[in-house]
Structure 1
């Protein structure tokens, strides 16, 4: 897939992916199709209409269609199917059921790096060249399995700094409500500090070095005022070191038993477009067209119709891509790939990602961290210990520490003696700074093939302010490394890590990506696509900005919980779950739900 993306990108001229006057400069339009005989066109049109009618006659129907069984999709499916036992809910997930080998890669936290590049778990492709990274392309990855990116990321819970929720522009999601939802998600998913059975040997030593370097050790997971703090990572890992993703947390056995009659989860199918009907000036989403994920030639298309709504939860790359494939997006992009514009909206024109840069040290005075010891990892006992729920090295997350450097950076991806970048048996300590970005990029279709990777311009470090923030953070990280006890005998491997040229030549992305379907420009404050009835987007693509000094996972969960609550309130009367309320109670409910942010 990466080689295909590279060959496609190589056809574009250097500089075509640069912004012009603040707007993305997309690749030039394709040549117009040649004229054909009018009689032939008329017959072709009649044939297409007949085929479409035939498809509709064979179409299946659901009240709610959820496109994507990822982090948000599993939340929506679980909440709606329990709230509406008389409604039918269908989840269409492109990923297939995992075999035993892939399931081990997904569930054992020590394998998280492998999960990023496992084609059964994640989809990987390359970005367009980044001028801020010396023209380099970087690897992008997103979950392609039931559970989405929560099945392949580091499952870290961090609440964004104060003020971020107000900037989202989502109706009813006030800071007070968001605070309740963050707590609810924390309990529901089961986030916790590293369990004793899987805690890395030197994690506490890192915390103590942070304290000596001036960091506050933060024990409250919900404190979110600007500060210099560090803590033991709060991950969704059970006591035995097994990942708890969105699917495991929400679509568990209890929920599936309760929803056995009204919830259908279809894996291994790819939605290729949303279907619409038009009445006068009114546009409504009526369903979706999909194929098997193995049907690359789109030969066996199927249709599913929605009685109530289509909910896109295809992820930060998938939802903008699917909207554009369905004819909703910038007219310039749709014209270039030969698609008819159904609704001209700025889909994908102002996305945001962040850069990550690290500082490295080697230790020689203490034994090698067991989780990075190939002899230990390859032993039968280590695998059996994890399989029996007793933790051990396979249950250890290689990212045991998190922190914030006020409002400039998010401290994560701290490979505490993990050696993942240099391979096994390396006595390596690597700490990473993830900047709060100001630069913006875009995402657009490469062509009209639903299986083609999109063109993604991240524009990492496109603004000098982004570089300066990472430099400030790296200098603090250097201080933490130098604060380790003498017995570790740390050797600085990257004395120039804060150098501008070094950062631009080595920085990567931690796969945080938002903004392709941002609130305000693409979706309304209730997450409904502007100008379209019956179509909402619920995933990280609706976030306007990267969460401040935090990863996007916790906020994605919160947005999904909030959207599910809104949908339940909206449709409760239509599925026999409505109680009569006096007018003043209804007014109070409306006021709480639509209070200004």
Structure 2
């Protein structure tokens, strides 16, 4: 590639990254009358593979839609090498994820404030969740029906869902009909980022309505190489468009929205990051920020699955005539298995009754999966599955440069179950679920425990299962964390401005100081909503 730009573009704002956060910011800035250049390294999202919800499991691991970042061998899991997904498509992770809409626990955001993110307490971020949401259940104290992001109830049901919810309630987990309402703890049905039976990513909800706007220049297959900084000011973004070097100048600000993996990589390629790390690759350091790439969080989870005596949705998918029937149901009514998100029933529960608050999340689905290091595949047996994950993990990882070449993937280092407390939580959570599956409410429907298998019973056997089979829930955050300016580990201030650099902000999940106790797409959209308001100088009251 020729590194001298052949074309220079200019706009009020340049957004590097067209994932969930980038789409939100582009919409809000264009609505406010500003010109925007939105650079997305992936391709277009308008395909049945993206918009038909049941196809989400197939998107992960598909190089057309997924960057498929390989993680370094994990010492906490016997050197296992994982592949972490990242959306290689307009809409980013929100175009390939499991579509569950969650906000987390109010205490999560109060914790952010304690970690130096002033202005991000739950009462202060709730208006931005509301601004984003268009909930089909209507408006209330905790919900809005006016926002761009469609949030809908499930349009698919299965008898085992109700059986499982009833069994959890019988075991002492309270029923919760709204995880995003007054309380998060309990068991109930998830809502999904869908509208009319189709996926509603930020690309569909926010960007599609302004796709022809004169103020928006959207460039797909635009691979960002670095941010050009001069005299402490972010002036422009260097990128390649179909292999041709170009430059996008920002009259007002550059907004970095390349995600938890991409944003720190771009900062470091731009000379912003740990000096020793940059100099190791021959990159001139323009801003020594030790926190860039550090503080990587991820939710560790394990899977349990059971063979049952009723037909499950994955078996329907392997039957040609049943698949054809379900496809017709989807085409005509936008209902049925074609609308299925990755999970149907959720729970936020305490793995030990003496705990002061819940410490685990549950994803249940009336279908069976085979989880490999880089793919999620449908099983062929009548099987139901559930994943238990730690809500507040204790381990931290990092993103580093592999080389000074922008096209090279970064180094991702993370010990997923490196904290003994997390292993304990996973074991206790799995044992609680096993007890539920052997309860009177379910045992007549269960034929056998497929994973981990009844041979796993002692603490040692459970720990071996966790270390062999634990997997990332695909919720990475934190690598450009916000905090107090005096905190040497913070990268951006509470207004998301990169320390010591003017006209540059990070506006995606990388800025989160710690994990929300839930899936992270909803919180990422909230961050971008608040970022847009801060950029415009119009924060919500």
Q: TM-score, normalised by structure 2?
A: 0.87
- Structure 1 residue runs of 5 or longer lacking an equivalent are 1-50, 571-588
Larger C-alpha radius of gyration, 1 or 2?
Answer: 1
Map 1:455-494; keep pairs closer than 5 Å. Answer: 455-483=411-439, 484-493=441-450, 494=453
Alpha-carbon offset, residue 491 of structure 1: 1.6
> Which position in structure 2 is the counterpart of 1:437?
393
Give the secondary-structure state (helix, strand or coil) at the position aligned to 1:95. Answer: coil
Partner of 2:415: helix, strand, or coil? Answer: coil
The question of 1:359 aligning with 2:304 is answered yes
How far is the alpha carbon of 1:410 from its aligned partner?
3.8
- Within 5 Å, give how 1:8-407 maps onto structure 2: 55=5, 58-84=7-33, 87-98=34-45, 103-168=47-112, 169-187=116-134, 188=147, 189-195=149-155, 198-223=156-181, 225=183, 227=185, 229-240=186-197, 242-253=198-209, 255-256=210-211, 260-278=213-231, 283-292=232-241, 294-295=242-243, 300-346=244-290, 347-364=292-309, 366-369=310-313, 372-376=316-320, 379-406=323-350, 407=357
Q: Which residue of structure 2 aligns with residue 448 of structure 1?
A: 404
More helix by share: 1
**Deviation, structure 1 residue 416:** 2.2
How far off its partner does 1:385 sit?
A: 3.3
Q: Deviations over 1:511-554 (max 9, x none)?
A: 11111100021111110000000000000000111112x11112
Say how many residue pairs are matched: 498
Note if contact 1:290-1:303 (Cα within 8 Å) is conserved in structure 2.
yes
Match of 1:525 among 471, 494, 506: 494
CA distance, structure 2, for counterparts of residue 409 and residue 160 of structure 1:
12
2:382 to 427, 431, 443: 427
How far off its partner does 1:77 sit? Answer: 0.6
Please identify, of 137-146 and 156-165, the stretch whose mean Cα deviation from structure 2 is larger: 156-165
Q: 1:186 Cα deviation (Å)?
A: 3.2
1:514–1:541 Cα contact (<8 Å) kept: yes
Distance 1:448 1:340, change over 3 A: same
CA RMSD in angstroms comes to 2.3
Question: Displacement, 1:83?
Answer: 1.3
1:565 Cα deviation after fit:
1.3
Match of 1:544 in 2: 513
What is the distance in 2 between the residues matched to 1:270 and 1:200? Answer: 43
Residues 453-499 of structure 1: CA deviation (Å, up to 9, x unaligned): 11111111111111111112112211222234344133223232771
- Match status 1:535 vs 2:504: yes
- In 1: Cα distance, 2:158 partner to 2:193 partner: 16
In structure 2, distance between residues paired with 1:183 and 1:477: 33
The answer to whether the 8 A contact 2:17-2:40 is kept is: yes
Residues 372 and 425 in structure 1, CA contact (< 8 A), matched pair in contact too: no
Question: Is the CA contact (8 Å cut-off) linking 1:368 and 1:425 kept in structure 2?
Answer: no
Contact 2:297 2:514 survives alignment (8 Å): yes
Contact preservation (8 Å) 2:229, 2:236:
yes
| In structure 2, C-alpha distance between the alignment counterparts of 1:408 and 1:67, rounded to whole Å | 37
Alpha-carbon distance in structure 1 between the residues aligned to 2:273 and 2:245? 23
- TM-score, normalization by structure 1: 0.79
2:45–2:95: 8 Å Cα contact kept in structure 1? no
Q: 1:121 to 1:94 in 2, by over 3 A?
A: same
Following the alignment from structure 1 to structure 2, what is the Cα–Cα distance between the partners of residues 424 and 437? 29
Partner of residue 514 from structure 1, selected from 451, 471, 477: 477
Alpha-carbon distance in 2 for matches of 1:561, 1:377? 44
Q: Which residue in 2 is equivalent to 1:565?
A: 533
CA distance in 1, matches of 2:233, 2:269: 16
- In the alignment, is the contact (CA less than 8 A) between 2:176 and 2:184 conserved in 1? no
Distance in structure 2 (CA, Å) of the matches to 1:344 and 1:372: 55
Q: Secondary structure of 2:60's partner?
A: helix
Query: Residues 314 and 367 of structure 2 are in contact (CA less than 8 Å); yes or no, is this contact kept in structure 1?
Result: no
User: Would the alpha carbon gap of residues 172 and 277 (structure 1) be closer, same or farther in structure 2, given more than 3 Å must change?
Assistant: same
- Bigger mean CA deviation after superposition, 526-535 or 340-349: 340-349
Which range is displaced more, 524-533 or 487-496? 487-496
Q: Quick check: 479-488 or 526-535, which moved more?
A: 479-488
The CA distance in 2 between the partners of 1:150 and 1:423, in whole Å, is 21
